[in-house]
């Protein structure tokens, strides 16, 4: 996951759940994305948005093998109905705290709560120390510029659409 998405926690499992839930509509209609379709969006679909689309995104010979192993007990405990499809259970219930192993391009990079090639404590300490420093002149100028531009951006988009005429794509899931 190369970007924070809508949330800034880089939790791909949460992003998947959000997609599943925001597309639900009241009733029994089944014209919303299925868990399999959402997983495909997150894997093969996500890969296609990168320059590596032909070499990642699917478990196939010749492609980089990326795997995430999740603790099944964390997904299924204390109860999971035997008729619940496996994919539904994982996408709806798995949490990042249940991730046990991550393999990228056939290399284990995370296992049993530890990154293989990163000293987490040292990295956090370095980040903390770096963020304690005063802002550079360039950073101060960028902040000032962004604050000065905001009213102009708001003015540009004022009246961009008429809220009275705007119809959200998923009307049943939206609020007026």
CB-based contact 47:41 (threshold 8 Å):
no
Q: Which residues, at least 6 apart from 127, have a Cβ–Cβ distance to it below 8 Å?
A: none
pLDDT tens profile 34-93? 999 999 999 999 889 889 888 888 888 888 878 899 999 999 999 999 999 999 999 999
**Separation between Cα atoms, residue 86 and residue 64, nearest integer Å:** 24
Write down the number of H helices and E strands in the chain: 7, 4
Strands 67-70 and 99-104: antiparallel
pLDDT tens profile 100-154? 999 988 899 999 988 899 898 999 999 999 999 999 999 999 999 999 999 999 9
Read off the pTM: 0.66
Strands 99-104 and 107-111: antiparallel
Using only C-alpha atoms, what is the Rg of the chain?
21
Spell out the alpha helix ranges (H) of 54-119.
Answer: 72-76, 86-93
Rounded to a whole number, what is the distance in angstroms from the first to the last CA of the chain?
Answer: 33
């Amino acid at each position: 996951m190369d970007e924070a998405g809508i949330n800034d926690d880089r939790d791909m499992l949460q992003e998947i759940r959000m997609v599943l839930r925001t597309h639900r509509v009241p009733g029994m209609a089944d014209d919303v994305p299925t868990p399999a379709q959402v997983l495909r969006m997150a894997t093969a679909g996500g890969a296609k948005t990168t320059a590596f689309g032909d070499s990642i995104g699917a478990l196939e010979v010749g492609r980089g093998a990326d795997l995430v192993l999740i603790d099944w007990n964390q997904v299924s405990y204390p109860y999971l109905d035997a008729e619940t499809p496996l994919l539904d259970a994982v996408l709806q219930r798995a949490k990042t705290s249940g991730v046990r192993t991550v393999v990228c391009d056939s290399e284990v990079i995370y296992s049993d709560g530890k990154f293989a090639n990163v000293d987490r404590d040292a990295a956090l300490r370095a980040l903390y120390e770096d963020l304690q420093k005063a802002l550079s002149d360039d950073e101060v100028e960028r902040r000032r510029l962004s604050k000065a531009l905001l009213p102009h951006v708001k003015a540009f988009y004022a009246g961009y659409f008429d809220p009275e005429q705007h119809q959200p794509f998923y009307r049943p899931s939206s609020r007026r």
